[in-house]
């Protein structure tokens, strides 16, 4: 028991001792210039193997150097080599400032290394300390700049490079960094730094896919939001004394341009397949509205549209905005949309969004009859293998298309199909809707679904036997319908008591009306 107690005491003493030691050294450095060498001992703790010591030393360094910035005790200008201090003809005050400037550079290098530390608390503390240095350098520049506006772009750019690691997932730390992106000047220079970083890294890797790096870039990009109005741009990490309205960082137009260039550079290079989905999900809401010219995304969206599968479905949102709001002319758009219709659309995660967009794209009454008939017929053919939840969307959707385009009613009332079975002229494998002979066919598939095992599906299919009203069916509530909801609805439905034509059995072989009861008895 004694040894255990002793070890606990030693642990507490060591914890108190390193805090006391660092605090003592910190106070000595700040109190007198003759104790300047004590800063070596504080900086040394930044390389400690113990996380708590690194965190405590990081906060101590932040305190020391922020004070030195405030006092003006760091050398300003091109930093001379430390070896030149011995032979150089400089005053003691200047030598002190050069010495502390070198120690500041050492501290920054170690903090940047700790951005890749295994412990998140160390990463977070290092990040916050570096951002304090960014603010301090902005207020007290370390270079003699001729321009009126000061901002430590190099330090922030180096920090961004470490956040965009090629080997480690930094998404958690980037989410912590999001707090600083609320500052307009930080956001602007981060966007510029990210753009340059992507060019350098992706160019060095000869445009090959770098999943970890590109995921870090996407995480950072997706946290950046440009203000909607210029009047909201009033939050700056570094306040400028000169005319703020003339500073390009304070102009909304410049922010949108930087945002646009950053995303276009990122989308220019080859992406992992799962990255396409992540981008396309947020593209129409979080990226396009913040761009100066969204039509510049046409190359990316066209490439995504040609990939096929779920990626093509997701790209429809962006293409829809460009077509309807920016007058984009996309050749063979409906031909490509038609080719996307396969059994997988009923099982993808984005089914509701897809049907919503297809409904919009086919809403125009100026579409040619052969095109609408091709979509109607293809949907009808796919309905033969679709699950009930999808059929409850498809059937009213097909009826709505026929309502909008009365010339397609011939698919319902074709007389030859009612008399005797015949070959269907429709060619399912044909990719061109103009060549699939849909208008020569009929909707026999809907007639087949009237015998479906699910009563709701059969009921929906029966509507095609009746004259279609002009009022379209609202399918918005059905788009998100799941199998679970369908089962719950059936289980909760009230059932009527149905009279039966036989006596309910109460005992085995007792009923005289049953065959077994007549010929057998239990004794």
pTM given for the model: 0.78
- Whole-number mean pLDDT of the chain? 83
- Over residues 179-206, the mean pLDDT reads 90
Over range 346-350, report the average pLDDT: 80
Question: For residue 224, what pLDDT band results from cuts at 50, 70 and 90?
Answer: very high
User: Which residue did the predictor score with more confidence, 131 or 416?
Assistant: 131
For residue 381, what pLDDT is reported?
92
Q: Render pLDDT for 433-486 as a digit per residue (tens, 0 to 9).
A: 889 988 888 888 888 898 988 888 888 888 888 887 777 777 776 666 777 777
> Model confidence at 118, in pLDDT bands (50, 70, 90)?
very high
Answer for the pair 441, 426: CB distance below 8 angstroms, yes or no.
yes
- What mean pLDDT comes out for the span 102-127? 94
Q: Would you say residue 153 has pLDDT above 60?
A: yes
pLDDT of residue 353: 80
Question: Is pLDDT at 1 greater than 50 in this prediction?
Answer: no
For the chain, the first-to-last Cα distance in angstroms comes to 81
Burial profile 248-281: b = 16 or more Cβ within 10 angstroms, e = fewer: ebbbbeebbbbbbbbbbbbbebebeeebbbbbbe
Is the pLDDT assigned to residue 87 strictly greater than 80? no
Residue 8 has pLDDT above 60, yes or no: no
Average pLDDT over residues 479-501: 71
* Dist CA 508 CA 207 (whole Å): 79
* pLDDT of res. 413: 66
Q: Which of 171-185, 232-246, 318-332, 355-369 has the highest mean pLDDT?
A: 171-185
Q: Which tokens sit at 130?
A: 């570096």
Work out the pLDDT band at 249, boundaries 50, 70, 90. confident
Task: Report the range out of 19-28, 227-236, 327-336 with the highest average pLDDT.
Answer: 19-28
Token pair of 63, please?
A: 């305190």
């Amino acid at each position: 028991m004694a040894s255990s107690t002793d070890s606990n005491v030693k642990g507490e003493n060591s914890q108190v001792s390193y805090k006391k030691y660092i605090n003592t050294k910190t106070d000595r450095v700040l109190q007198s210039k003759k104790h300047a060498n004590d800063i070596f001992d504080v900086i040394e703790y930044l390389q400690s193997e113990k996380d708590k010591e690194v965190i405590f030393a990081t906060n101590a360094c932040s305190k020391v150097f922020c004070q030195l910035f405030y006092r003006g005790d760091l050398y300003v200008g091109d930093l001379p080599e430390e070896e030149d201090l011995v032979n150089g003809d400089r005053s003691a005050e200047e030598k002190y400032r050069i010495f502390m400037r070198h120690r500041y550079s050492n501290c920054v290098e170690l903090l940047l290394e700790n951005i890749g530390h295994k412990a998140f608390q160390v990463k977070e503390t290092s990040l916050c300390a570096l951002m304090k240095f960014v603010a301090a350098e902005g207020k007290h520049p370390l270079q003699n700049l001729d321009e009126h506006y000061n901002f430590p772009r190099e330090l922030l750019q180096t920090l961004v490079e470490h956040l965009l690691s090629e080997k480690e997932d930094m998404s958690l730390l980037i989410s912590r960094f999001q707090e600083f992106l609320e500052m307009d000047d930080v956001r602007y220079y981060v966007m510029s730094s990210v753009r340059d970083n992507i060019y350098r890294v992706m160019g060095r890797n000869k445009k090959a896919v770098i999943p970890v790096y590109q995921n870090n870039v996407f995480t950072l990009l997706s946290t950046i939001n440009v203000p909607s109005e210029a009047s909201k741009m009033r939050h700056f990490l570094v306040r400028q004394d000169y005319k703020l309205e003339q500073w390009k960082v304070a102009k909304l137009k410049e922010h949108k341009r930087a945002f646009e260039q950053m995303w276009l550079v990122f989308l220019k290079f080859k992406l992992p397949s799962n990255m396409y989905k992540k981008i396309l999900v947020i593209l129409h809401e979080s990226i396009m509205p913040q761009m100066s010219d969204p039509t510049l995304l046409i190359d990316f969206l066209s490439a995504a549209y040609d990939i096929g599968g779920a990626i093509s479905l997701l790209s429809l949102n962006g293409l829809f905005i460009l077509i309807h709001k920016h007058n984009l002319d996309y050749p063979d758009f409906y031909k490509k949309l038609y080719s996307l219709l396969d059994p997988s659309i009923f099982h993808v995660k984005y089914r509701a969004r897809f049907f919503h967009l297809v409904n919009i794209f086919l809403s125009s009454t100026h579409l040619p009859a052969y095109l609408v008939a091709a979509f109607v017929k293809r949907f009808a053919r796919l309905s033969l293998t679709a699950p009930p939840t999808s059929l409850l969307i498809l059937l009213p959707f097909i009826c709505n298309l026929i309502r909008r385009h009365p010339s397609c009613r011939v698919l319902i009332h074709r007389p030859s199909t009612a008399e005797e079975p015949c070959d269907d002229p429709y060619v399912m494998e044909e990719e061109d809707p103009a060549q699939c002979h849909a208008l020569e066919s009929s909707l026999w598939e809907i007639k087949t679904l009237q015998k479906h095992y699910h009563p709701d599906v059969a009921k929906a299919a029966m509507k095609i036997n009746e004259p279609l009203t002009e009022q379209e069916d609202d399918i918005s509530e059905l788009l998100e319908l799941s199998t679970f909801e369908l089962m719950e609805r059936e289980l909760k439905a009230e059932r009527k008591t149905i009279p039966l034509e036989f006596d309910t059995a109460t005992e085995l072989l007792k009923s005289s009306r049953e065959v077994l009861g007549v010929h057998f008895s239990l004794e």
